A and B are shown apart, each in its own frame.
Chain A
Amino acid sequence: MPARAQLALLGALVAIVLASAFVGGSNPYFVDVAVSCGINVTLAVSLNLINGYTGQFSLGHAGFMAVGAYAAAVLTTTFGAALLPFVGGQTWLLFLLALVAGGLMSAVAGLIVGVPSLRLKGDYLAIVTLGFGEIIRVVLQNIDAIGGPRGMIGIPGYANLAWAYGIAAVCIYVVWAMVHSTYGRGFIAVADDEIAAEAMGINATRYKITAFLVGAFFAGVAGGVYAHFKQYIAPQGFGFDKSIEIVVMVILGGMGNTVGVIAAAILLTVLGEWLRQFGDYRMILYSLLIILLMILRPQGLFRLKPRAGKA
């Protein structure tokens, strides 16, 4: 990451942390939208590593988010009282541990999903990941200890603006640094032409699984933040619709364009809220927007030319 971009990221982070300290009295609705933006940025940037840079098509990101959300929430809600003495009574440390644990659980899920399904390509991979996402949801619905279809309530509200954007910044930094390292050019090589990449000695499967692991990890962490901000999670909240929402962010941002994807995530979150004034027409407008954008600007809102040579 160029020094200038690093500085910009750091500056933005400091500004958000400062804002988070003074946000107490302001309108909770705006805080809610701002936190949602941060969570969606994390989700979109992590999916961008899989769908954008590595050129795979995952439609199950909400499933990974669900795994992380539930794992983190169980740690703080069910085992929170037992674990707190071990971290010196510091709730932030407990939350951090829960987030990491949620992310790791989600990465394990990513591994389980990724190893078999990454043998497939394009549409098939999309459908299989969609299937896995749905299976995760159905399984969560059937575990009574975490509320089943009723969902989990009473999750402590540890997350705030600073957490949401701190996580987003870490995710942006890691994805950017990974892809722009010498090692990371392999992701782009796999996206451009898998057979050619293999011929150059790149282990395509390994790169794809790495992308899946890292992407799933951050989706899980984002899920953890979401759970501890909303303080309530239910399996229905992590369905197919949520996965689509994240995919649309990545596509609008221009696949494999981190800055564009961040902008698209924020834009779509705010747009979704703005469209609420149209009540029942909200989702109609949203779907029309997807169709029109795909017809008019398939390369994404923030990319000038379509990427050459892609079939």
Chain B
Amino acid sequence: MSELLQQLINGLALGAIYALIALGYTMVYGVLRFINFAHSDVFMIGAFAGYFLARVVPGGSIGAGIVILIGAMAVCALLGVVIEKLAYRPLRGRSTLTVLITAIGVSLLLQNVGQRIFGANPRSFPSIFPVHQFHFGGIVLSSTQILVFVVTLVLLFLLRYIVLHTRIGTAMRALSFNPTAASLVGINNDRVISFTFALGSALAAAGGILYASNYPSIDPLMGTLPGMKAFVAAVLGGIGNIAGAAVGGLVLGMVETTVVGFGGSTYRDAVAFAVLILILLLRPEGLLGKRTAEKV
């Protein structure tokens, strides 16, 4: 029983991180209808930004940790805006395939520039938040896991507030509903898209720091697998649906830790894809998505 609970906690912590990354995929898909492959590398840059900021800001206390977290989020928000402006904006209105390939190009670029600048060897990520372990009977709950839950919850509610109760959030929803109509009522589509990228990338940075706090080894290629799994989480919850991304992330994290717990650790990376294929075959609109009819 305690082992099951332990797996549940580990799965939730992993799933919360997937959820944070998945939100970025889902929001960009919502406004631009394409899969931003470079998102997983923004996640990597977020972890590295945290690593370098931790050299300037002495870590170890909660306050310093928050400063580092916000700093890394700001760096990545800027990066997301720049990527969108340079690589994706010239392609506005082109076929999805063109944009998809460009996104893959940006992803390769970030990985390889990362390898050039940071070096290809893994680095150990410092503990920027205080580290403790709490024992409840047979269950171990680490402070980084609590941190993951708290940060994810705070960011989720913040995001929910932005999307539902602010002007820019309303504009985002309008844009994802119908871009032409949105611009007709005076929404500056380019600005909203930039904002969406900033928001998504900041969440990816938070995900990167939390991931690195849990698995403290970072390298320029670290984003690929968590990124792909987060994308699966976004599809699982129904792509374009913010609540869906969160649910999908949690479900995927728990499925993965369960499979590893039952001794299938060498197959852990195949699990996510098997889940993806199953969901696309059985319920392609995702757990919380709406089914749309095909129009001619």
Contact = CB atoms under 8 A, between A and B. Distances in A.
Majority secondary structure, A binding face: helix
Interface string A278-311: 0011011011101100110010000000000011
A294 B273 contact: no
A20 to B, nearest CB: 34
A236 interface: no
B270 interface: yes
Best-buried of A120, A141, A251, A295 by chain B (most CB within 10 Å): A295
A116 interface: yes
Contact of B98 (A138, A284, A294): A294
Contacts of A310: 95
Contacts of A295: 87, 90-91, 102
Contacts, number: 110
B150 interface: no
A200 B106 CA distance: 40
Nearest to B106: A291
Given A131-B277, A284-B113, A195 B296 contact: yes
A290 B270 contact: no
Contact of B34 (A123, A142, A240): A123
A105 interface: no
B282 to A, nearest CB: 10
B281 A116 contact: yes
B193 interface: no
Contacts of A139: 270
A284 B112 contact: yes
Most chain B C-beta atoms within 10 Å of own C-beta, residue among A135, A255, A286: A135
A287 B35 contact: no
Interface string B91-108: 100111111111011111
Contacts of A248: 101
B280 A117 contact: yes
Nearest to B120: A280
A197 to B, nearest CB: 12
Interface SS, B side = helix
Given A57-B97, A284-B116, A288-B109, A135 B274 contact: yes
B235 interface: yes
A35 B272 CA distance: 36
A290 B296 CA distance: 33
A192 interface: no
A138 B277 CA distance: 15
A51 B96 CA distance: 13
Interface in B253-296: 266-267, 269-270, 272-274, 276-277, 280-281, 284, 294, 296
B108 A287 contact: yes
Contacts of B274: 131, 135
B180 interface: no
A100 B111 CA distance: 38
A111 interface: no
Nearest to B264: A142
A284 B91 contact: no
Contacts of B296: 195
B18 interface: no
A287 B106 contact: yes
Contacts of A135: 270, 273-274
A270 to B, nearest CB: 19
A298 B98 contact: yes
Nearest to B86: A291
Interface in A98-131: 116-117, 119-120, 122-124, 126-128, 130-131
A142 B95 contact: no
A139 B108 CA distance: 25
A33 to B, nearest CB: 22
A291 B97 contact: no
A288 B35 CA distance: 19
Contact of A127 (B35, B102, B267): B35
Interface in A235-252: 240, 244, 247-248, 251
B248 to A, nearest CB: 14
Given A131-B274, A244-B108, A294-B91, 6 more contacts: A135-B270, A135-B273, A142-B267, A287-B112, A290-B105, A310-B95
28 contacts: A116-B281, A117-B277, A123-B34, A124-B235, A126-B100, A127-B35, A128-B276, A131-B272, A131-B273, A131-B274, A131-B276, A132-B277, A135-B274, A141-B266, A142-B266, A240-B224, A251-B97, A251-B98, A255-B97, A287-B109, A288-B105, A290-B102, A291-B102, A291-B109, A294-B102, A295-B102, A298-B91, A298-B94
Give the top 6 A-B pairs by smallest Cβ distance, nearest first: A131-B273, A290-B105, A287-B108, A287-B109, A283-B112, A291-B105
